[in-house]
Amino acid sequence: MQIATWNVNSVRQRTGHLLRYLKEQAPDVLCLQELKCVDEAFPWGEVEAAGYNAAVHGQKGFNGVAILSKAPIEVKRGLPGDPTDEHARYIEAVIPHKQSVVRVASIYLPNGNPPDTEKYGYKLAWMDRLIAHARELLRLEEPLVLAGDYNVIPAAADCADPAAWVGDALFLPQTRARFRTLLNLGLTDALRATTDEAGLYTFWDYQAGAWQRNKGIRIDHLLLSPGAADRLVTTTIDKGLRAEDKPSDHVPVRIELQ
């Protein structure tokens, strides 16, 4: 079973990129972030014609998450813990696989910049809600994959130039501490379970030749419950998509589970 995550940075602008990826890699499940469209504007017909069921939690102009699956899915939209939060940043699905199920979430965690504004407080509070929800999901003892754009650089090895990120909300100590708290619930970072190699990135800014000079960061993660981690075979960063014409600034990360 292949499960991938990708911040597509406007699904309407990159429908062609998405359809090529579905054809070439054919993941069983693909989590999308930053759709930047309402549900009605999602390319339903094209995705369904490619052989996928789609569950979408959209928002006009920004945010937006989705889960595409070859199998039928049961869906919940929104992260519990704050009924006033209207941001479309979380969607969760139960997906049948052979004789069992896999629970998958697509996550678009808040950026939090500038860190001296209420945006950073919102990021930390959102992470606290995610930690609380993950704790409840782990009690189900199902294979669980929390996938998405976390807007978290976990460690210095996950960015080409750590000094450039010292004051950024993605790399502040409080941000990384909460990410560690999430992992300490019993979750496994899929990439780091398969390699300790530095220089593996999932995001390159559009500015200042970041892609050409490989000045990237790793902020797109798949976190696995023990039941999923035990089945992990490989983790792949599909880096080549960043070199396409008019690409997203993120690339997909893909895992294979037995």
Instruction: Dump pLDDT digits (tens) for 189-215.
Output: 999 999 999 999 999 999 879 999 999
Measure the CA–CA gap between 47 and 68, rounded to whole angstroms: 8
What domains sit in the chain, N to C, each tagged with a CATH number? 2-257 (3.60.10.10)
Contact by Cβ (8 Å): 201, 214? yes
Both tokens assigned to 130 = 């995610």
User: Residue 7's pLDDT band (boundaries 50, 70, 90)?
Assistant: very high
Which residues are known to be catalytic? 108, 149, 250
Q: State pTM to two decimals.
A: 0.97
Residue 157 has pLDDT above 90, yes or no: yes
**DSSP class of 95:** E
pLDDT over 80 (residue 29): yes
The answer to whether 149 is a known ligand-binding residue is yes
The pLDDT assigned to 100 comes to 86
Per-residue model confidence (pLDDT) at position 151: 98
- Among residues of the chain, what percentage have pLDDT more than 70? 100
249 is in an annotated binding site: yes
Label the pairing between strands 29-33 and 2-7.
Answer: parallel
Lowest-pLDDT range, 41-45, 117-121, 206-210? 206-210
Q: How confident is the model at residue 252 (pLDDT cuts 50, 70, 90)?
A: very high
Q: Is 67 exposed, middle or buried (CB count within 10 Å of its CB: 0-12, 13-18, 19+)?
A: buried
What number of residues does the chain have?
Answer: 258
CA distance 23 to 17: 10
**Does the annotation place 250 within a ligand binding site?**
yes
